[in-house]
């Protein structure tokens, strides 16, 4: 236990800035000198480490498929993608956004968890060391990463992007000229398209892990976008009778073929075979139960088709967004216009019923004065023009969107869905075949994927319905368009219009199906369904009526002769009355009055009186009509006389066949002419036609289908569910026991990290099979901490075994104290400088922060407690410890320490020596709240003063592991790279090889030291932020 602390300067160039908001999470990019800060209000800020701002955005305004915009969510975790091009930002509502680091735009959003996501972890999939695969390329070329990148790219990028065939998108402008999409929508669509190239370069081969707040689940996002798997931790632990006490960290490691997580559990002592990395046996190591900290590894096989699936998932979500945005725009425009249309037919009086007026006008050519007046003046040629405009301009527009934009994206969805499930099933087949020998030896090998996946089936069904609905919408539009067109034509030929419309009536009537228009008018303009039925019967079912009457006559024993006599009698009576009127003297005296009307009307009224009176006498039942006819005469007259009893006035007409498609359920109007799917090929199409024709599906509006689809799309984890909707058991490939001493109570902090992170492609460990992909587990308690390296057994070649073991042993650390009371060794500080002092070039334009200190500076030099551990690469650690000072009343202060020499240790004793920061200028230290460390350039940033201030400084570089590793290349600044990249872009057009080259170059530069300072321009715009 020769743990000692020396005092020296760990942080160079320390600068403190005031943050623009209370920081809730922060993260360094491993590839650039960038730091991302997230706030409680959803803001994300990307800054250069020199505090120059790159962009700032708020992710609360962006919704993921299946979610609403939530303004009150905070940024709960941030993590850069392994190549530094994307930033994953998790919110407290369970959404993960991927932001483009360059522009700050959200490129992708997915709802990954139901609640707050507490942690993110983004790893690269690393195949076995590259060098061994490369064959002839093992020469020591300086820029080996560039070549590597080029080869990788050449292998992964196909010469054609596959989705070209899949009905492409940018048609927003072509379809609707008056239905304008909102620019914001358009923009959000454009920016959410991750190109295949970008995907293959940045996202493919990465795994993003997220934990939810309750620590109960780890969500595995393949390629950072596709929530493929959900590890329910309690469930997994239950397999081994363990219950979760504490979850520390998670990590994806391709060497172990799965997701590892570190947890303290309570349960029986498991028999973990430490060296073989196998799942524990059934027999516990010893009796009883206890507390242990274990590393679990849940199997996750990676196959190239899985990346395809992830890409298709992006495409699916994009297609969905495209569809819903188009639909929304259309809907918004439609409602307004259909109201205008309906108002045209409003006669504004109950006496004039538009339906009856139209019907009469069309059949006989004349109607009562009020009706004609309405047609002539109320509707008028202007109104007719408006209807025509609607039918020839607005309707075709909707129709064009439905048949263009919408159906294109529906088809695109179909295609992408198919690609998605094909690649998923390829992956599933791979998994199924991988370990199942029965395929090889059984006489009748088991069927592939005997049970089809419910989630996939639902997805297919939903998308099929959407496609169908879209087509139906198009047809429905056409129907409505044709109906309106015909109606307009026919109305324009009626008397009030024929005068003004210079039309050749014959020309227009030629292509009209008059029966259809009549039916249309009857059904749409007459509100009373009883009357509609009646009229329809009369107009179109003459034969039926006749035969019905015949039957009735037969039943009633109708005597036609009797009937004729009755007619005769009535005629006689009428005749007599008529003769009487002749006898009446014409009163000439009345003519003297100028006003003739009363007289005339009296005379005209007269016959009616006779008529009704006589009828009443003659026939005690209905005078004019038969009973079974329902006396429509009286019925129809009644409403004229008395006001309608219902308070709600019925609308004159409802012509909208289309509007309800935008809603959750189709209206009766739309259902009337709803097309039916063809059932001819049903027996080879899985009964699809009849299923689609079922009432429930027919009634669905597109909005409803979209909602269902969104729910399905946003829960792809359900792929792993069985028919009952339960998650299938996950396979634990091994459990590694960290500790299980009886006194163990769990750790304060624990971390898993790669010994050699993916960006150290040239580290000698990569050449040593086994070491390259090994992981390091660092755990820490108040008074103890240790760090071990776990090597994937499958990677280790027999000949390397000893060397590997040697390394593992040397990297191992273990410190335990009864009571920590390590005092900083002041004397050693001068003797052993931990490294060079001028690692960072000082930017002369930077603002230095000079803090005026009080006269007495208490010296916190006694470590009393350890609180956090931050593993760096190759076994190195940075610790956060609580120090106390000799002075009384000064309390404790969190301070960071780090090991002074990195592996391999030049002086073996140095392994156990840690350095505590001391400030050269004598300024006082600040208690550290949250600490993050840049993984490559070892920049440290910590928050203090309640997250309102941040201090950034670079840690002194360690002693380089290889002599030439430190070799300085031509110094290039970040700006240079940026300029160069822009030049490339201009020259070469879009994204291609150069971006990769660029990234590789930046990376190389960073790996070999700190030369990414921005010494070109001064950061004038940032001065406000400085203290």
Partner 1 sequence: MQKAAPRPIIKRSYLNLDAIFGHVFSNLTGEPVTPTKIATFYLLRILFQTHFGFRHKRAYYKPFSPAEKERIFHWLYALMTSVVELSYKDFRIVTRLAFDDGREVCKNFYAAMEKIGAGMADVTLNVEDEFYTNKHPKDPKLPANDTVHEAMDLARGDIIQFSSNHSFMYRWMKRLLAQYTKSTPSEVFQINAAMKSWVLSAVESKYHPEFKGEYLPHFIDCSVRARDWVAKSIYFIQKNPRFAFQYNEMLHYTRIVQKRHPDVVEGFLLEAIVQVQLKDSSSAIKAMKSFFELSMFELNENMVHAAKTHRLAVPTQTPLMYAPILQARICRIFGDYQMARLLLHESLQQAQLRNDEICHQMANIEMHTVDILGCRALLEDNNEKTAKHIENERRVQRKALLHIDDLHGHTRSGPCCLSSEEDFELVAEMDSYGKMLMLMKIIAEGNYKLIYDRVAETGITCPVGNDLGERGRKVAAYGAALISSNMIHNGMYHQAKCAAENMLANNCRTDETDPFQAPFQAEPWAIGAVNLSYSQAGVGNYDAALRTIEEMRQNYPEELSWQSNRHVVICAAVINFERFLLKNDYKACASEVLNLAAHSELECKLRQALLLAAAGKERASVEVLEGLNVVDIRGRIRIHMQTGCIYTASQEFRKAAREFADALSLAENTTLKDIVPMVKRRQATMLMCHGQYVECLKLLKECNEGIEQFGSFTEKACYYMTAARCHRLLGKDPRMWLKKSRALVRNGQWPAFTKLVLSEIAALHDVKGLMPDENRLSQICEQFGKLTADCPGRCEWLLI
Applying the rule CB under 8 A, the residues between 123 and 162 that interact with partner 1 are: 159-160
Residue with token string 């170059």: 1001
Q: How far is the CB of 225 from partner 1 (least distance, A)?
A: 21
Cβ of 523: how many Cβ atoms within 10 Å? Answer: 18
**239, 281, 448, 983: which one binds partner 1 (CB under 8 A):** 448
* Closer by beta carbon to partner 1, 527 or else 623: 623
C-beta separation of 666 from 674 below 8 A: yes
* Closer by beta carbon to partner 1, 518 or else 1000: 518
Q: Is 361 in the site for partner 1 (CB under 8 A)?
A: yes
Nearest to 292 by CA among 867, 742, 816, 734: 742
What phi and psi values does residue 897 have, to the nearest 5 degrees?
-130, 155
* Closer by beta carbon to partner 1, 2 or else 620: 620
Residues 289-348 that bind partner 1 (CB under 8 A): 304-305
DSSP for 957-968, please give it.
P---SSGGGG--
Q: Is 464 in the site for partner 1 (CB under 8 A)?
A: yes
Q: Is 795 in the site for partner 1 (CB under 8 A)?
A: no
* Closer by beta carbon to partner 1, 1 or else 506: 506
Nearest to 870 by CA among 881, 883, 884, 882: 881
**403, 762, 773, 905: which one binds partner 1 (CB under 8 A):** 403
Candidate ranges 31-39, 233-241, 539-547, 842-850; the one touching partner 1 (CB under 8 A) = 539-547
Q: Is 842 in the site for partner 1 (CB under 8 A)?
A: no
Report the alpha-carbon distance of residue 527 to residue 546 in Å, rounded. 27
Q: How far is the CB of 500 from partner 1 (least distance, A)?
A: 12
* Closer by beta carbon to partner 1, 123 or else 479: 479
Alpha-carbon 847 to chain mean position? 42
CA angle, residues 810, 813, 814, in degrees to nearest 5: 145
**681, 831, 888, 989: which one binds partner 1 (CB under 8 A):** 681
C-beta separation of 879 from 866 below 8 A: yes
Q: How far is the CB of 186 from partner 1 (least distance, A)?
A: 15
C-beta separation of 262 from 245 below 8 A: no
Cβ of 858: how many Cβ atoms within 10 Å? Answer: 17
**550, 576, 848, 983: which one binds partner 1 (CB under 8 A):** 550
**20, 284, 290, 396: which one binds partner 1 (CB under 8 A):** 396
**286, 350, 434, 533: which one binds partner 1 (CB under 8 A):** 434
Candidate ranges 82-90, 421-429, 796-804, 920-928; the one touching partner 1 (CB under 8 A) = 421-429
Tell me the sheet residues that pair with 296: 261, 735
Candidate ranges 14-22, 595-603, 833-841, 859-867; the one touching partner 1 (CB under 8 A) = 595-603
Q: How far is the CB of 539 from partner 1 (least distance, A)?
A: 5
Q: How far is the CB of 381 from partner 1 (least distance, A)?
A: 15
Nearest to 673 by CA among 930, 512, 473: 473
Report the alpha-carbon distance of residue 535 to residue 523 in Å, rounded. 10
Q: Is 174 in the site for partner 1 (CB under 8 A)?
A: yes
Alpha-carbon 776 to chain mean position? 35
Candidate ranges 124-132, 598-606, 927-935, 986-994; the one touching partner 1 (CB under 8 A) = 598-606
Residue 1010 DSSP one-character state:
-
Site string for partner 1, 469-498 (x = CB under 8 A): --xx-xx--xx-xx--x-------xxx--x
Candidate ranges 261-269, 275-283, 606-614, 871-879; the one touching partner 1 (CB under 8 A) = 606-614
Two structure tokens written together for 316: 């699916």
Q: How far is the CB of 160 from partner 1 (least distance, A)?
A: 5
Helices 529-540, 632-641: axis angle to 10 degrees equals: 140
Q: How far is the CB of 367 from partner 1 (least distance, A)?
A: 6
Candidate ranges 203-211, 401-409, 699-707, 962-970; the one touching partner 1 (CB under 8 A) = 401-409
* Closer by beta carbon to partner 1, 454 or else 685: 685
Q: Is 566 in the site for partner 1 (CB under 8 A)?
A: yes
Q: How far is the CB of 348 from partner 1 (least distance, A)?
A: 18
Candidate ranges 15-23, 262-270, 504-512, 905-913; the one touching partner 1 (CB under 8 A) = 504-512
Q: Is 392 in the site for partner 1 (CB under 8 A)?
A: yes
What phi and psi values does residue 222 have, to the nearest 5 degrees?
-70, 130
Peptide bond into 904 cis (omega under 30): yes
Q: How far is the CB of 167 from partner 1 (least distance, A)?
A: 6
Tell me the sheet residues that pair with 784: 816
Tell me the sheet residues that pair with 780: 749, 785
Radius of gyration of the chain (CA): 41
Q: Is 533 in the site for partner 1 (CB under 8 A)?
A: no
* Closer by beta carbon to partner 1, 633 or else 836: 633
* Closer by beta carbon to partner 1, 154 or else 856: 154
Q: Is 616 in the site for partner 1 (CB under 8 A)?
A: no
Residue with token string 């009864």: 818
**80, 179, 415, 736: which one binds partner 1 (CB under 8 A):** 415
Q: Is 571 in the site for partner 1 (CB under 8 A)?
A: yes
Residue 623 DSSP one-character state:
S
**142, 348, 510, 723: which one binds partner 1 (CB under 8 A):** 510
Residues 574-593 that bind partner 1 (CB under 8 A): 574, 578, 591
Q: Which helix (H) or strand (E) holds 186?
A: helix 183-191
Two structure tokens written together for 250: 């998670």
Q: How far is the CB of 473 from partner 1 (least distance, A)?
A: 11
**140, 511, 557, 587: which one binds partner 1 (CB under 8 A):** 511
Q: Is 739 in the site for partner 1 (CB under 8 A)?
A: no
Would the CA dihedral through 215, 218, 223, 227 be positive or negative?
Answer: negative
CA distances from 547 to 355, 537, 554, 821 (A): 29, 13, 11, 111
Side-chain half-sphere exposure of 803, counting CA atoms within 13 A: 13
**123, 236, 242, 407: which one binds partner 1 (CB under 8 A):** 407
Residue with token string 């000064």: 890
Q: Is 797 in the site for partner 1 (CB under 8 A)?
A: no
Q: How far is the CB of 275 from partner 1 (least distance, A)?
A: 24
Q: How far is the CB of 784 from partner 1 (least distance, A)?
A: 45
Contacting residues for 596 by C-beta, under 8 A, at least 6 apart: 590
**369, 554, 856, 963: which one binds partner 1 (CB under 8 A):** 369
Nearest to 87 by CA among 50, 118, 46: 46
Q: Is 365 in the site for partner 1 (CB under 8 A)?
A: yes
Q: Is 367 in the site for partner 1 (CB under 8 A)?
A: yes
* Closer by beta carbon to partner 1, 340 or else 549: 549
Q: For 34, left (φ over 0), alpha (ψ -120 to 50), or beta? A: beta
C-beta separation of 903 from 875 below 8 A: yes
Two structure tokens written together for 271: 């028999």
**284, 290, 380, 404: which one binds partner 1 (CB under 8 A):** 404
**Strand order from edge to edge, sheet including 106-111:** 75-80, 86-91, 95-100, 106-111
Burial of 827 (0-12, 13-18, 19+ CB in 10 A): exposed
Q: Is 376 in the site for partner 1 (CB under 8 A)?
A: no
Burial of 7 (0-12, 13-18, 19+ CB in 10 A): buried
* Closer by beta carbon to partner 1, 691 or else 972: 691
Q: Is 33 in the site for partner 1 (CB under 8 A)?
A: no
The beta-strand segments (E) located in 310-446 are none
First to last CA, the chain: 43
Residues 618-637 that bind partner 1 (CB under 8 A): 619, 623-626, 629, 632-633, 636-637
């Amino acid at each position: 236990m020769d743990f000692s602390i020396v005092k020296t300067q760990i942080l160079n160039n320390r600068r403190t800035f005031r943050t623009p908001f209370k920081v809730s999470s922060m993260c360094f990019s491993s590839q650039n000198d960038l730091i991302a800060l997230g706030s409680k209000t959803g803001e994300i800020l990307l800054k250069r480490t020199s505090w120059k701002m790159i962009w700032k955005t708020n992710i609360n305004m962006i919704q993921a498929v299946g979610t609403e915009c939530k303004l009150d969510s905070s940024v709960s975790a941030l993590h850069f993608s392994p190549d530094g091009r994307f930033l994953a930002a998790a919110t407290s509502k369970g959404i993960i956004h991927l932001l483009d680091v360059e522009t700050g735009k959200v490129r992708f959003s997915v709802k990954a968890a139901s609640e707050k996501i507490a942690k993110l972890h983004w790893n690269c999939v690393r195949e076995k060391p590259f060098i061994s695969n490369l064959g002839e390329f093992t020469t020591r070329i300086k820029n080996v990463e560039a070549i590597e990148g080029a080869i990788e790219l050449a292998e992964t990028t196909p010469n054609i992007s596959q989705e070209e065939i899949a009905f492409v998108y940018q048609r927003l402008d072509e379809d609707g000229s008056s239905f304008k999409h909102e620019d914001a929508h358009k923009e959000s669509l454009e920016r959410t398209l991750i190109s295949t190239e970008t995907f293959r370069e940045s996202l493919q081969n990465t795994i993003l892990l997220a934990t939810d707040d309750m620590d109960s689940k780890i969500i595995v996002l393949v390629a950072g976008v596709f929530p493929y798997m959900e590890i329910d931790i309690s469930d997994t632990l239950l397999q081994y009778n363990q219950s979760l006490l504490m979850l520390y960290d998670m990590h994806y490691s391709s060497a172990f073929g799965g997701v590892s997580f570190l947890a303290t559990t309570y349960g029986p002592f498991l028999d973990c075979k430490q060296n073989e990395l196998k799942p524990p046996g059934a027999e516990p190591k010893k009796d009883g139960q206890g507390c242990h900290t274990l590393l679990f590894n849940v199997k996750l096989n990676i196959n190239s088709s899985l990346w395809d699936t992830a890409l298709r998932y992006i495409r699916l979500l994009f297609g969905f967004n495209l569809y819903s945005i188009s639909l929304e725009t259309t809907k918004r425009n439609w409602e307004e216009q259909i109201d205008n249309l309906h108002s045209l037919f409003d006669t504004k009086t109950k006496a004039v019923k538009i339906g009856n007026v139209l019907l009469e006008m069309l059949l006989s050519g004349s109607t009562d004065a009020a009706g004609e007046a309405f047609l002539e003046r109320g509707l008028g040629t202007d109104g007719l023009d408006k209807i025509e405009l609607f039918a020839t301009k607005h309707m075709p527009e909707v129709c064009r969107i439905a048949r263009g934009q919408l159906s294109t994206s529906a088809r695109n969805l179909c295609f992408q869905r198919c690609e998605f499930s094909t690649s998923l099933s390829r992956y599933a087949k791979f998994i199924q075949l991988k370990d199942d020998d029965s395929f090889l030896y059984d006489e009748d090998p088991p069927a592939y994927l005997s049970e089809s996946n419910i989630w996939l089936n639902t997805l297919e069904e939903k998308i099929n319905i959407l496609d169908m609905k879209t087509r139906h919408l198009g047809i429905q539009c056409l129907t409505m368009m044709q109906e309106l067109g015909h109606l307009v034509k026919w109305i324009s030929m009626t008397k009030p219009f024929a005068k003004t419309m210079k039309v050749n009536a014959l020309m227009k009537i030629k292509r009209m199906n008059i029966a259809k228009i009549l039916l249309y008018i009857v059904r749409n303009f007459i509100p009373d369904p009883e009357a509609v039925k009646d009229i329809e019967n009369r107009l179109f079912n003459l034969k039926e009526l006749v035969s019905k009457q015949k039957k009735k006559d037969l039943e009633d024993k109708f005597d036609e002769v009797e009937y004729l006599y009755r007619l005769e009698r009535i005629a006689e009576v009428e005749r007599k009355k008529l003769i009487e009127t002749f006898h009446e003297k014409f009163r000439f005296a009345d003519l003297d009055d100028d006003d003739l009307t009363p007289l005339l009307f009296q005379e005209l009224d007269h016959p009616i009186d006779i008529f009704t009176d006589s009828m009443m006498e003659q026939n005690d039942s209905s005078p004019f009509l038969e009973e079974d006819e329902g006396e429509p005469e009286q019925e129809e007259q009644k409403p004229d006389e008395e006001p309608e009893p219902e308070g709600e006035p019925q609308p004159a007409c409802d012509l909208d066949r289309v509007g309800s498609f935008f809603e959750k359920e189709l209206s009766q109007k739309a259902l009337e002419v709803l097309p039916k799917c063809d059932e001819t090929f049903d027996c080879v199409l899985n009964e699809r036609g009849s299923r689609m024709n079922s009432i429930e599906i027919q009634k669905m509006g597109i909005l409803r289908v979209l909602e269902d689809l969104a729910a399905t799309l946003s829960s792809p984890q359900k792929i792993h569910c069985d028919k009952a909707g339960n998650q299938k058991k996950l396979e634990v490939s091994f459990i590694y026991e960290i500790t299980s001493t009886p006194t163990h109570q769990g750790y304060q902090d624990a971390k898993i990290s790669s010994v050699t992170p993916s960006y150290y492609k040239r580290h000698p460990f990569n050449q040593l099979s086994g070491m390259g992909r090994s992981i390091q587990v660092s755990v820490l308690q108040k008074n103890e901490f240790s760090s071990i390296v776990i090597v994937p057994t499958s990677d280790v070649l027999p000949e390397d075994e000893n060397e590997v073991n040697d390394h593992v042993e040397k990297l191992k650390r273990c410190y335990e104290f009864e009571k920590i009371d390590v005092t900083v060794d002041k004397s050693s500080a001068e003797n052993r400088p931990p490294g060079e002092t001028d690692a960072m070039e000082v930017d002369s334009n930077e603002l230095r922060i000079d803090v005026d200190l009080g006269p007495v500076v208490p010296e916190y030099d006694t470590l009393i407690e350890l609180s956090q551990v931050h593993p760096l690469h190759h076994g190195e650690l940075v610790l956060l410890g609580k120090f106390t000072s000799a002075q009384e009343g000064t309390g404790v202060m969190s301070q960071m320490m780090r090991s002074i020499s990195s592996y391999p240790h030049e002086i073996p004793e140095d392994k156990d020596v840690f350095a505590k920061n001391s400030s050269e200028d004598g300024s006082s230290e600040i208690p550290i709240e949250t600490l993050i460390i840049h993984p490559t350039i070892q920049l440290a940033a910590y928050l203090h003063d309640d997250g309102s201030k941040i201090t950034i400084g670079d840690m002194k570089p360690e002693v380089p592991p290889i002599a030439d590793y430190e070799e300085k290349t031509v110094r290039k600044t970040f700006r240079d790279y940026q300029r160069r990249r822009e030049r490339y872009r201009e020259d070469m057009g879009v994204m291609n090889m150069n971006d990769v080259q660029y990234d590789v170059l930046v990376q190389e530069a960073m790996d070999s030291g700190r030369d990414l300072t921005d010494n070109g321009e001064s950061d004038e715009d940032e001065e406000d932020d400085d203290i």
